Structure 1
Amino acid sequence: MLGVNHLYKDNGIEPEGLLSTIPAIAHVLIGFCCGKLLMEVKDVNEKLLRLFLIGTTLTFLGFLLNYGCPINKKIWSPSFVLVTCGLASSFLALLSWIIDIKGYKKGGRFFESFGVNPLFIYVMAAILSILLGNIRLAHGESTISLHGYAYEIVLQPLLGDYGGSLTFALLFVLLNWAIGYALYKNRIYIKI
């Protein structure tokens, strides 16, 4: 656990190491506190105002801390934790205001299938990713993964590096959505 044999050989940075558990715990605790606030405060306007103020404060503190500790996802810096949690809280408050208070639900229907089976879709996406990487197709004198075929042979030549990568990612999300939507339409909710 503390040796160097299992570490990434990436410029001395270990994104999944022991030290990155501290900001991961901070992320979880901030999310837990926001979730607790959403469940305990009954008045919707007060709830959203508090959530937005928490988000704005965290974002401000993160950008302020950026001067001494840069916002860096790779090392999961404290400023990164504050900014991402702050923006997520503010965005959640904004979406809740649009959907719950203003009643605009039309554009959110797409996301409902993700919301009713989030853990299942998360695990399924990981499994699909592994399958796409491990299922091999014959390609010339060698083989290529389904992921490699879709990206390198089909999408990249048509759309370039960035366009092909973005299109592959969007198609992958759409595939996960389709499976989640089928469960949602049939009222199948998978819970722990």
Structure 2
Amino acid sequence: MSNIALPTRLGSVDVYRGLVMFLMMAEVLEFGHVSQAFPNSWFWAFLYHHQSHVSWVGCALHDLIQPSFSFLVGVAMPYSLASRMSQGQSTWQIWGHTFRRALILILLGIFLRSMHAEQTNFTFEDTLTQIGLGYVILFALGRSSLRIQWIALGLILLGYWALFAFYPLPGADFNWAEAGVAADWPHHLQGFAAHWNKNTNPAWAFDRWFLNLFPRPSLFQFNGGGYATLSFIPTLGTMTLGLIAGQWLKTAQETRVLLRKLLFTGLILLVLGFLFNLLGICPNVKRIWTPSWVLFSGGWCFLFLAGFYYLVDVMQQGRWFYVLKILGMNSIAAYVLAHTVVEFIDSSFRINISQQYDLLFGEGYRTLVSGTVILAVQFFVLDWMYRKRIFIKI
């Protein structure tokens, strides 16, 4: 491997982001429906497992979507900052854009969560709002040295770990109905790890105060999935890992050294996250974005990035990833399409083609048929946008 001159836009980043968007958009295939129709099939059970989130501790492929999206926001930051500086933008202009982008991400997340609600659903645990809440701090870190970024990452993870570790556990008289989880829920953790149990932690307590500051149809008591607003803090840790990787990519002089750094960092993070979980120091829980989850999922993100970097930018095999490239280069448009037009596309086909067009291969495969149609239409739109050089940016 020889010295390289990296382009201003890396194909591997677009392809990796495209994989993330595809996994999210492919939810319309509903492998769970197919798995239920064929309960003896290990193949559909396997796909269903990796298209759904684990109940609490652990990781499926689907659990890596949000960490990857957040990680890639950090990867893109050095390139975005350099681009704006090369355009002659002043510091105040760049900061203004940063605050504006953070606000748009938060508001867009709230809007998409409120589309089918009678009133605005003020919730801050989805991907866009979590990124928006930490984006300004990420930008500030992007203007700092690598040493400062590593220190900031350590403080974020240690501080968030301590917040949970020193929060009191529920007593014997605790009313579990307030937490929306049964006292005998099989996924409850025991011992010290119980500080990270579902809806009995400081992030849950914070939301019982914070979310009730906003107008809502009824008093907020708990999030059914255990998700929390404060997860934006460790999510910032995931974005900081991406920021570090992005700076390595941007300043790399030799591919062998860069790939070694990405691979070794990914493996070290995986091992650390696994050990913290195994030893009961901090469990791997994506839903509340535990510090060990930042390390574990971050390790996978480094490995995915290294793999795509090698295939796309080093070996120049990007042509094999055309579909992912289209999705990745217009990720905001893809994200919005996946959350807005699914029912419209399905109903249009039922009206213009057949009310039961998805029964072409029988009831068991109906979601595969309708999901494939929805994905094809969405890709057609994104491919048209790509060919017309229309890219939605915030």
- 1:118 is aligned to 331
Q: Which amino acid aligns with 2:392?
A: I
Q: Aligned to 2:362, what secondary structure does the other structure show?
A: helix
- 1:95 is aligned to 308
User: Highest relative contact order (Cα 8 Å, sep 6+), 1 or 2?
Assistant: 2
Question: What is the percent sequence identity of the aligned residues?
Answer: 26
- 1:21 is aligned to 232
1:183 is aligned to 2:385: yes
- 2:243 is aligned to 32
TM-score of the superposition, structure 1-length normalised? 0.71
CA distance in 2, matches of 1:86, 1:165: 33
Q: Is the 8 A contact 1:155 1:168 kept in 2?
A: yes
1:6 is aligned to 2:208: no
Q: Aligned to 2:389, what secondary structure does the other structure show?
A: coil
- 1:77 is aligned to 290
Residue-by-residue CA offset, 1:113-160 (whole Å, 9 max, x unaligned):
11221222223322325xx2xx6xxxxxxxxx95xx8xxx76589353
TM-aligned CA distance change 1:114 to 1:35, over 3 Å:
same
TM-score of the superposition, structure 2-length normalised? 0.38
Return the index of the structure with the highest Cα Rg: 2
- 2:270 is aligned to 59
Deviation at 1:102, TM superposition (A): 1.9
Deviation at 1:66, TM superposition (A): 1.6
Deviation at 1:50, TM superposition (A): 1.2
Q: Which amino acid aligns with 1:96?
A: Y
Q: Point out the structure with the larger strand share.
A: 1
Q: Is the 8 A contact 1:7 1:14 kept in 2?
A: no
CA distance in 2, matches of 1:81, 1:169: 31
CA distance in 2, matches of 1:27, 1:173: 29
The answer to which of 1-10 and 65-74 deviates more is 1-10
Residue-by-residue CA offset, 1:57-80 (whole Å, 9 max, x unaligned):
111111111211332223322222
